[in-house]
């Protein structure tokens, strides 16, 4: 597990806070790119050969050894010092500014983070193919971008519930999730102290925070969907907007006439927000107030620059229900709402499934892009099968990698506890790492510039038996090191010239290092040399090989050093 040290404690800190995870990830230090007055964080991985690799860093000041952390005071409100352009047509949003040709500090920050040109960021935001969720009232956040032209992002859900958890647990979960790479977090709290929990999270979160305002609204009516009103919901949205929530899931596409479409499903309606609105619609025989009041919602959102995450309240909850009429009927309505939101200058992304077998995944992206003007797609997995509860981080990583390859911009993680219980600290980490794998695999498959640098650095370290570098370049250095040490606990093994699978006498890595040395000694150094050698059928080279004889392939244990 990661470094666990106590953070600075103040009397006003949550009374039950046990610890806070501080300090850099093993083998790394915080590094900042300076772009005018902007300081853009990177994680610098230091290698034993004197080289380093800088990687995208979501963890905020918590991994900066020089930062002073005080949960009660919160993170520095850095964005307050940045330039804030005048409203355009009444909208103070990244979308409105991008359309007006203005490159904001937020855009320049994310461009430096992604290693791309700021104009690409502006143009993608302007056409609505990317969003920068950044509520003006969350100045502590380090802006990031969600869009298919950029690195695939990962969201981690946290939040207590009626059953268990505490405020301190949730703050630490946020710190913990962003340490391992969560690009945004959603606070899905449903229990007591919902407002206070969110306040602690927002003031201390370096990443955008999303919520589902319907959950708190339902708390206010004691859990009875029929008692909900537009006014209660609106006031909740404003309350959360004032606190600084960066994006909100709104299930405005669950229309009255779609509800019976779910009646014959194997798993009905599995979205909490969707089922609440379905209950309300049927109880009142009226169209959803989220739909009928959508224009008013847009007017609130654009004041703060809150990004819509249009919820898929009718997403499939099983393989049997994937890509059915209910799901796609709602998606069409989300497309209509996307157009309305954008006409108000409000940024929009679209939520997606759920449970989908592999052969039906691409169709989800194709339809979303067609119906929703290519607004960024933000999917939950999808799970590629229903039969593996306790392993749904894996069933869903398969679907997540594939849907991201097809164009999904952000993946909502799934933990091993999905369908079974509430994730604890370990589950959060496993969920985030698993989804970083899916996101990075998609970045590779999409040819994202520089994505392969890390794979190449790690594989090169592996081939050269630089064990420490292999660990430190890994998504989870601590667990990689721990697993290795179970087999070979001795420190010398960290530089041993054999891998732990094979043992000293029998290592393919060692043998192929010899092949390389041999090829170089014999002048087989360029691709052309090799091609020529193949063409000559090795005839000419045979004589050269003869001279080297068995020297290259001495019994391997003779050259494997003293370890083990």
393-422 binders of a copy of itself (CB under 8 A): 393-395, 397-398, 401-402, 405, 416-422
Q: Is 232 in the site for a copy of itself (CB under 8 A)?
A: no
215 among annotated binding-site residues:
yes
> Concatenated DSSP letters for 291-328?
HHTHHHHHHHHHHHTPEEEE--TT--SSGGGTT-HHHH
Give the other-Cβ count within 10 Å of 257's Cβ.
9
**CA–CA distance, 395 with 431 (Å, rounded to integer):** 12
The count of chain residues that interact with a copy of itself, using the rule CB under 8 A, is: 148
497 among annotated binding-site residues:
no
Minimum distance of a copy of itself from residue 537's CB (angstroms): 6
Q: Is 556 in the site for a copy of itself (CB under 8 A)?
A: yes
SS3 label, residue 449 = coil
Among 335, 458, 469, 494, the residue binding a copy of itself under the rule CB under 8 A is 458
Residue with tokens 């669950």: 254
Minimum distance of a copy of itself from residue 403's CB (angstroms): 11
Return the range that interacts with a copy of itself (CB under 8 A); candidates 18-26, 103-111, 167-175, 252-260: 252-260
Cβ 206 vs Cβ 58: under 8 Å: yes
129 among annotated binding-site residues:
no
SS3 label, residue 376 = coil
Minimum distance of a copy of itself from residue 122's CB (angstroms): 28
Q: Which residues contact 371 (CB under 8 A, 6 or more apart)?
A: 331, 332, 334, 335
Cα–Cα nearest to 174, from 139, 135, 146, 201: 201
Cβ 161 vs Cβ 424: under 8 Å: no
Residue with tokens 């007055």: 37
Q: Is 268 in the site for a copy of itself (CB under 8 A)?
A: yes
State which of positions 314-333 bind a copy of itself (CB under 8 A). 317-320, 329
Binding mask 342-381 for a copy of itself (x = CB under 8 A): -------------x-xxx----------------------
Binding mask 85-124 for a copy of itself (x = CB under 8 A): ----------------------------------------
Cβ 278 vs Cβ 288: under 8 Å: no
Q: Is 438 in the site for a copy of itself (CB under 8 A)?
A: yes
393 among annotated binding-site residues:
no
Minimum distance of a copy of itself from residue 327's CB (angstroms): 14
Q: How far apart are the first and last CA of the chain?
A: 26
**CA–CA distance, 303 with 311 (Å, rounded to integer):** 21
Cβ 142 vs Cβ 60: under 8 Å: yes
Q: Is 445 in the site for a copy of itself (CB under 8 A)?
A: yes
Judged by beta carbon, residue 345 or residue 423, the one nearer a copy of itself is 423
Q: Is 561 in the site for a copy of itself (CB under 8 A)?
A: no
Which residue ranges are tagged as binding site for [4Fe-4S] cluster? 499, 502, 507
The binding site for Zn(2+) consists of 355, 419
Binding residues for substrate: 157, 186, 215, 251, 271-273, 312-315, 351, 378
């Amino acid at each position: 597990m990661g470094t666990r040290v106590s953070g600075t404690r103040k009397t006003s800190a949550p009374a039950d806070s046990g610890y806070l995870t501080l300090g850099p990830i093993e083998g790394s230090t915080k590094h900042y790119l300076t772009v005018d007055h902007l300081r853009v964080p990177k994680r610098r991985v230091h290698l034993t050969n004197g080289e380093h690799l800088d990687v995208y860093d979501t963890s905020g000041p918590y991994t900066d050894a020089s930062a002073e952390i005080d949960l009660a005071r919160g993170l520095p409100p850095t964005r307050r010092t940045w330039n804030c352009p005048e409203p355009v047509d009444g909208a103070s949003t990244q979308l409105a500014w991008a359309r007006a040709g203005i490159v904001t500090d937020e855009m320049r920050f994310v461009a430096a983070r992604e290693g791309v040109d700021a104009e690409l960021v502006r143009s993608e935001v302007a056409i609505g193919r990317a969003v920068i969720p950044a509520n003006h009232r969350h100045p502590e956040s380090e802006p990031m971008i969600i869009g298919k032209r950029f690195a695939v992002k990962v969201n981690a859900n946290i939040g207590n519930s009626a059953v268990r958890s505490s405020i301190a647990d949730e703050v630490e979960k946020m710190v913990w999730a962003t340490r391992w790479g969560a690009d945004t977090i959603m606070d899905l709290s449903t229990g007591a102290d919902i407002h206070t929990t969110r306040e602690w999270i927002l003031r201390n979160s370096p990443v955008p925070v999303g919520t589902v305002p319907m959950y708190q609204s339902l708390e206010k009516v004691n859990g009875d969907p029929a008692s909900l009103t537009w006014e209660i919901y609106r006031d909740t949205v404003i309350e959360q907007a004032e606190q600084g929530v960066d994006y909100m899931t709104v299930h405005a596409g669950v229309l009255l006439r779609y509800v019976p479409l779910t009646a014959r499903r194997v798993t009905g309606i599995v979205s909490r927000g969707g089922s609440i609105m379905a209950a309300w619609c049927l109880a009142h025989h009226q169209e959803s107030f989220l739909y009928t009041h959508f224009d008013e919602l847009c007017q609130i959102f654009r004041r703060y620059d809150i990004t819509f995450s249009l919820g898929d309240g009718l997403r499939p909850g099983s393989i049997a229900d994937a890509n059915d009429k209910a799901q796609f009927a709602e998606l069409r309505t989300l497309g209509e709402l996307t157009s309305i939101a954008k006409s108000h200058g409000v940024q929009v992304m679209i939520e997606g499934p759920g449970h989908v077998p592999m052969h039906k995944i691409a169709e989800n992206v194709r339809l979303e892009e067609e119906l929703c003007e290519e607004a960024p797609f933000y999917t939950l997995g999808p799970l590629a099968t229903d039969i593996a509860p306790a392993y749904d981080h894996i069933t869903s990583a398969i679907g997540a990698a594939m849907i991201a390859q097809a164009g999904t911009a952000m993946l909502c993680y799934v933990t091993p506890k999905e369908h079974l219980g509430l994730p604890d600290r370990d589950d959060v980490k496993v969920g985030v790492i698993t989804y970083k794998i899916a996101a990075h695999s998609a970045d590779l498959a999409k040819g994202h510039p520089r994505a392969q640098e890390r794979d190449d650095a790690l594989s090169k370290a592996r081939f050269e038996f630089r064990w420490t570098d292999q660990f430190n370049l890994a998504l989870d250095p601590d667990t990689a090191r721990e697993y290795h040490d179970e087999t070979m606990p001795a420190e010398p093994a960290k530089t041993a010239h054999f891998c732990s699978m094979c043992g000293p006498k029998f290592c393919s890595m060692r043998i192929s290092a010899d092949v390389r040395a041999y090829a170089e000694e014999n002048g087989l150094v360029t691709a052309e040399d090799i091609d020529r050698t193949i063409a000559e059928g090795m005839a000419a080279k045979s004589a050269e090989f003869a001279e080297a004889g068995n020297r290259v392939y001495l019994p391997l244990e003779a050259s494997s050093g003293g370890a083990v």
